[in-house]
Amino acid sequence: MTVRDFQQAFDEKIDREIAIEPRDWMPDNYRKTLIRQISQHAHSEIVGMLPEGNWITRAPSLRRKAVLLAKVQDEAGHGLYLYSAAETLGITRDEMYEQLHTGKAKYSSIFNYPTTSWADMGAIGWLVDGAAIMNQVALCRTSYGPYARAMVRICKEESFHQRQGYEILLQMSKGTEIQRKMVQESINRWWWPSLMMFGPSDDNSPNTEQSMRWRVKRFTNDELRQRFVDVTVEQCNILGMKLPDPALKWNEERGHYDFGEINWEEFWNVVNGNGPCNKERLDARTKAWEDGQWVRDAALAYSEKRKERSKKETKAA
Amino acid sequence: MKNQILYTLQLADNALIYGHRLSEWCGHGPVLEQDIALTNISLDFLGQARGFYQHAANLFNALPQADKQGMFLSVTLEEKINKGENIDEDDLAYLRDGWDFRNLLITEQPNGDWATTIARAFYIDIFNHLYYTRLQKSSDLQLAAIAEKSLKEVTYHKRWSSEWVIRLGDGTEESHAKMQTALNDLWPFTGEMFRMTDIEKEMASNKAGVDAAALYNDWKQQVTTIADEATMQLPDSTWMQEGGKDGRHSEHLGYILAELQFIQRAYPGMEW
Ligand SMILES: [Fe+2]
Ligand SMILES: [Fe+2]
Ligand SMILES: [Fe+2]
């Protein structure tokens, strides 16, 4: 078979919605795009542990503490599935970490915002996990098999996270005046960054077309963003809170909510490293990695010693 | 009854404070898989703490009003009690100050590096395994049930920390040195586990509590076996720190509580 035949077989699979598997031939760019996207997603899960980890020791009740701990642990698990999925494309986890620590690989910018109140644990679950679900449900049918399967497992847990987050806010919104203030203040901070999670608008998203063609992506950034706005407005009403956007209005004709313009300058600033916590997040990850070096070295040395010993034992026997 | 409550609180406080320390690792572990393992263990302790606190709260709520007063040196808790309200797990965890906490000093020691965390876990886990095995037979059926449920977890913890002691001890030169230092540094906190307070003695004689002093030989033998395999030397110093069980703590506990109780203190009396 020539490269052209391979390409044709690949295109056919994509068109017929047959999953691409690790051993299948795939175009270099498809592989590269997937490695970039999946590793970026994995990094987001891991860096995403930090802003919520920030409140584990301060959770206001033992039940909430247990739920939060379990949630952050889930995110670590998501990171693990995704790193494994990316590894099937021929990159190692250590290489991906290296890219994260040197700033070559990105992660979701939302995690560069600080968590300053307990209500943020609710707002992140509701809005951030909520926005993630919009993206990820679409990815459950993405063309690369291992990625799609990882997404199915992850999506189940993410929707659980979203409900738990919303429940935190619901409880607080039924509480005292000051708790309602805390909820509103948190929504004010997280709303716009959550909308930014869907990425640049379609006319500014150069990769979208190719990704749609490969069925890596199923919907455009703007389509998903709109869908998110539509469901979130209703949920916000139930909380008795306001979304911080004066332009937010039901558009009868479109059958969707209209909403205001995203602050793209802020978006690009945070993407490019100037968010409130970019440095802290990266420093925390790098520190964990560097502090852990001697531990990983020890584990490796020990397992090699054991192999040696068992070899000797088999020889002796 | 009062002693039964205080004894139960001691078990609860151990689990809460130690679980709190472990939870500080979440997101910062040396390997992703170990981050997950440690969080799991932290969740186990939090679960145990909740079981013990709920039991203590139930016992407390069943006391005649007169007996309830003065049990805790906490203004907020006392107010609640004086109003005749029932207390719950969160009141006990979030509204008592350090002098009412009865956890072992070892549980509140800082995480330090990975070797320190492992050494602390190793001493605690082997103790817990022996302890919960006995507590399963407690005449207090609630305590027995919690112990039985926890024993599976504790068995896993013990294996996990023992394996790490061996791995680090018999790993590289650097890890060997770090593991040895950590085992030495935490050693003086192990004696308190086996020194019985009057409350513990009474509970043990009622068959409701565990005779912790009687566990020492088994514990010593088990830690020694693992230490040997890890090419580690256990210190032979016998001088030991103590005070946690009587509410006399290290400076660390105050900061743990300041963090743990922050929201309940800053926004009192609210539901979260
Ligand atoms: Fe996740
Ligand atoms: Fe995610
Ligand atoms: Fe999540």
Ligand 2 centre and the CA of B249: distance in Å?
A: 41
**pLDDT(A243) > 80:** yes
> pLDDT tens across A172-182, in order?
999 999 999 99
Do the beta carbons of residue B268 and residue B94 sit within 8 Å?
no
pLDDT at residue B31, rounded to an integer: 96
The nearest CA of chain B is from the CA of A58 a distance in Å of 5
Q: Which token pair is A262?
A: 């995203």
CA atoms of A83 and A91, how far apart (whole Å): 9
Q: What is the mean pLDDT of residues A29-55?
A: 97
Q: In angstroms, rounded to a whole number, what is the distance separating the alpha carbons of residues A181 and A184?
A: 5
What average pLDDT does chain A have?
95
What is residue A204's predicted lDDT score, i.e. its pLDDT?
Answer: 83
| Run of H or E including B88 | none
- Nearest residue, CB atoms, A57 vs list B53, B171, B259: B259
Residues of A in contact with B231 (CB under 8 A): none
Residue A207: what pLDDT?
Answer: 76
The answer, yes or no, to whether residue B250 has pLDDT greater than 90, is yes
Chain B residues within an 8 Å CB radius of A170: none
Is the interface score ipTM higher than 0.90? yes
Instruction: Considering only the beta carbons, identify the residue of B33, B47, B167 that sits closest to A298.
Output: B167
Whole-number Å distance, alpha carbon A177 to ligand 3 midpoint, is 29
What pLDDT score was predicted for residue A208?
78
Q: What pLDDT shows up at residue B139?
A: 98
The pLDDT value recorded for residue A4 is: 84
A215 in Cβ contact with A229 (< 8 Å):
no
- What pLDDT, on the 0 to 100 scale, is given for residue B129? 98
Ligand 1 centre and the CA of A46: distance in Å? 9
Average pLDDT over residues A166-191: 98
Does pLDDT of A210 surpass 90? no
pLDDT at B241 over 80: yes
- Best mutation target, A49, A52, A65, A183, to test chain B (most B CBs within 10 A): A65
Nearest to A130 by CA among A154, A166, A169: A166
Q: What is the mean pLDDT of chain B?
A: 97
Answer whether A296 sits within 8 Å of B30, measured CB to CB.
yes
Neighbours of ion ligand 3 (CB under 5 A): A 129, 158, 161
Closest by alpha carbon to A130, among A193, A76, A176?
A: A193
* Per-window interface: B 127-186 vs A, CB < 8 A: 166-168, 170-172, 174-175, 178
Residue the block writes with tokens 């059958």: A255
User: Closest residue of B to A176, CA-based?
Assistant: B270
Helix axes A145-173, A221-239, angle to 10 degrees: 20
Query: How many C-beta neighbours within 10 Å does residue B149 have?
Result: 14
Q: What is the 3-state secondary structure (H, E, C) of B209-255?
A: CCCHHHHHHHHHHHHHHHHHHCCCCCCCCCCCCCCHHHCCCCHHHHH
What is the distance between the alpha carbons of residues B267 and B76, in angstroms, rounded to a whole number?
12
Separation of alpha carbons A56 and A67, rounded Å: 9
**pLDDT tens sequence across A250-292:** 999 999 999 999 999 999 999 999 999 999 999 999 999 999 9
Evaluate if residue A317 carries a pLDDT over 80.
no
Q: Which ligand sits closest to the CA of A52?
A: 3
- Structure token pair of residue A300: 């490796």
Are the Cβ atoms of B26 and A56 closer than 8 angstroms?
yes
Q: Over the stretch B181-216, which tens digit does the pLDDT of each residue have?
A: 999 999 999 999 999 999 999 999 999 999 999 999
Handedness of CA B49, B51, B57, B62 (dihedral sign): negative
pLDDT category of residue A316 using cuts at 50, 70 and 90:
confident
**Whole-number Å distance between alpha carbons of B105 and A98:** 39
* Alpha carbon of B76 to ligand 1 centroid (Å): 39
The answer, yes or no, to whether residue B249 has pLDDT greater than 80, is yes
Contact state of B267 with A178 under an 8 Å Cβ cutoff:
yes
CA–CA separation, A185 and B104 (whole Å): 40
Helix residue spans in chain A (DSSP H): 3-15, 28-47, 49-53, 62-87, 93-101, 119-123, 130-139, 145-173, 177-196, 208-213, 221-239, 264-269, 278-291, 293-316
Q: What is the mean pLDDT of residues B62-75?
A: 94
Task: Go through chain B and tell me how many residues it has.
Answer: 272
| pLDDT, tens only, A89-102 | 999 999 999 999 99
Return the residue in B113, B167, B261 with the most chain A beta carbons within 10 A, the one to mutate for interface testing. B167
Supply the pLDDT for residue B42. 98
Q: B31 alpha carbon to ligand 1 midpoint, in Å? A: 18
- Confirm or reject contact between B36 and chain A (CB < 8 A): yes
Q: Are A239 and A181 in contact (CB under 8 A)?
A: no
Distance A245 CA to ligand 3 centre (A): 25
Partner-chain residue, chosen from B23, B167, B260, that has the shortest CB–CB distance to A69: B23
pLDDT at A2 over 90: no
Confidence bin at B24 (pLDDT 50/70/90): very high
Task: Specify the residue for token string 């909740």.
Answer: B50
Nearest Cα to Cα of residue B245 among B105, B74, B54, B130:
B105
